[in-house]
Chains A and B, each alone.
Chain A
Amino acid sequence: KAGVTQTPRYLIKTRGQQVTLSCSPISGHRSVSWYQQTPGQGLQFLFEYFSETQRNKGNFPGRFSGRQFSNSRSEMNVSTLELGDSALYLCASSLGDRASTDTQYFGPGTRLTVL
């Protein structure tokens, strides 16, 4: 079974632009979570989706948004990029409806650089 895939793997943008990142979960997994990892803040929770519904959201500004499609694939969007948005964005999928009680399988991440 294929693992979690994320596209693109690397991305360079300039301040003010917007970006869309994609995540394809493991086949059969219905829960997708997104995380941001930076050297200063470490890992931080962005969103959690289950069956196309956002179940949880972290403490990020409204410039960060996401969605999940009927095939469980998920996208996240960051508008009006800032230098501080440079980070590794990780997606994780799990089988059940709650990431807390289920093993999460992580994708390789998308490394976003904002110039």
Chain B
Amino acid sequence: KNEVEQSPQNLTAQEGEFITINCSYSVGISALHWLQQHPGGGIVSLFMLSSGKKKHGRLIATINIQEKHSSLHITASHPRDSAVYICAVFRMNRDDKIIFGKGTRLHILP
């Protein structure tokens, strides 16, 4: 079983819909990051979380440390939000290594 699981793997939605992408992990973590990767490969860091909730524009990220779960929400989705969204956790132990989820491929239809 992967230490970081994302769901769904693929998501197609209509423009304007509210989107939720989930990330569950099985290890103790010091931080969780959400990344966005557009076709062509460029990766942008969206959020860095260790507790609670963060908001940036139409994007909201939450984390529940006790339940080992994080969600990324997109409100009023737009075709330009089409990308792969990747959850990454930093393990809380001596090595603090980063582990990535497999990503969620989001396609927003106009």
Interface of A toward B, CB cutoff 8 Å: 33, 37, 42-45, 56, 58, 88, 90, 92, 98-106, 108-109, 111
Count chain A CB atoms within 10 A of each CB in B44, B96, B103 and give the residue with the most: B96
Interface of B toward A, CB cutoff 8 Å: 30-31, 33, 41-45, 48, 50, 86, 88, 90, 95-103
Contact across chains for B31 and A101 when beta carbons are under 8 A apart: yes
- Measured CB to CB, the nearest residue on chain A to B96 is A100
Q: In the complex, which of the residues A45, A56, A101, A106 contacts B45, with contact meaning CB atoms closer than 8 Å? A: A106
A71 to chain B, nearest CB (A): 23
Q: How far is the CA of A105 from the CA of B48 in the complex (A)?
A: 12
Contact across chains for A106 and B44 when beta carbons are under 8 A apart: yes
Count chain A CB atoms within 10 A of each CB in B45, B48, B95, B98 and give the residue with the most: B98
Contact across chains for B43 and A101 when beta carbons are under 8 A apart: no
Residues of B within 8 A of A98 (CB): 96
Q: How far is the CA of A44 from the CA of B100 in the complex (A)?
A: 7
Q: How far is the CA of A98 from the CA of B99 in the complex (A)?
A: 15
Residues of A within 8 A of B98 (CB): 33, 45, 99-100
Q: In the complex, which of the residues B33, B41, B42, B103 contacts A104, with contact meaning CB atoms closer than 8 Å? A: B33
Residues of B within 8 A of A58 (CB): 97
Residues of A within 8 A of B103 (CB): 42
Residues of B within 8 A of A99 (CB): 90, 98
- Measured CB to CB, the nearest residue on chain B to A92 is B43
Residues of B within 8 A of A88 (CB): 41
Q: How far is the CA of A56 from the CA of B96 in the complex (A)?
A: 8
A19 to chain B, nearest CB (A): 18
Q: How far is the CA of A7 from the CA of B26 in the complex (A)?
A: 36
B102 to chain A, nearest CB (A): 5
Contact across chains for A108 and B100 when beta carbons are under 8 A apart: no
- Measured CB to CB, the nearest residue on chain A to B98 is A45
- Measured CB to CB, the nearest residue on chain A to B89 is A100
Q: In the complex, which of the residues B43, B45, B96 contacts A90, with contact meaning CB atoms closer than 8 Å? A: B43
Q: How far is the CA of A81 from the CA of B44 in the complex (A)?
A: 29
Contact across chains for A104 and B45 when beta carbons are under 8 A apart: yes
Residues of B within 8 A of A45 (CB): 97-100
